[in-house]
Amino acid sequence: MSEQQHPLDIRDQVMLGSYDITKQLIQQHADQLMELIDNGHTDAISIAIQAKYLTEVLEATKERIRELVCDELHKYAKGEECTKHGATFALKEAGVSYDYSGCGDPTWNDFNDTLTFLKEKMKEREKFLRSIKEPMTIVDQSTGEIITIQAPIKRSTSTYAITWKK
């Protein structure tokens, strides 16, 4: 596969905007990346570096162009979508959140205080449970029941981290 055909080549026809982007095309490019590795033309670490680079470039660009894209979409009638190169754009509200702390509602404040207290107590208990190495017999103070507690099951997924020079 020549350098110009590399699936991550930003000079690709997709990046030049000369044809529609589809989920099938995205999958095709992902498959081409795996073929490069499978056929020995490159290695997984090189592809991971290139993917991270492009992801970070695109993330850095995405927020900067968000306002410009929204301004462009405001030119359309309310609810009207814009389609370009196979991608459909529509304005939407995202990340809606509410701050209840200033409502002055005593019931909500009590719930929040209780929840905060319980979360802290759970963190303390979880720290204790993580320290258990062998099964431990305890007496439940509220019922008098004798219980054997176990250490929590630890789960993790192996992955990797990529960092850049400053």
| CA angle (151 as vertex; 149, 156 as ends), nearest 5 | 150
Per-residue pLDDT, averaged over 25-52, amounts to 90
Band of pLDDT at residue 63, cut at 50, 70 and 90:
confident
**What's the predicted TM-score (pTM) here?**
0.62
Mind listing the pLDDT tens digit for each residue in 101-146? 999 999 999 999 999 999 999 999 999 999 999 999 999 999 999 9
Mean pLDDT of 148-154: 95
pLDDT reported for residue 4: 44
- Cβ contacts of 139 within 8 Å, gap of 6 or more: 145, 146, 147
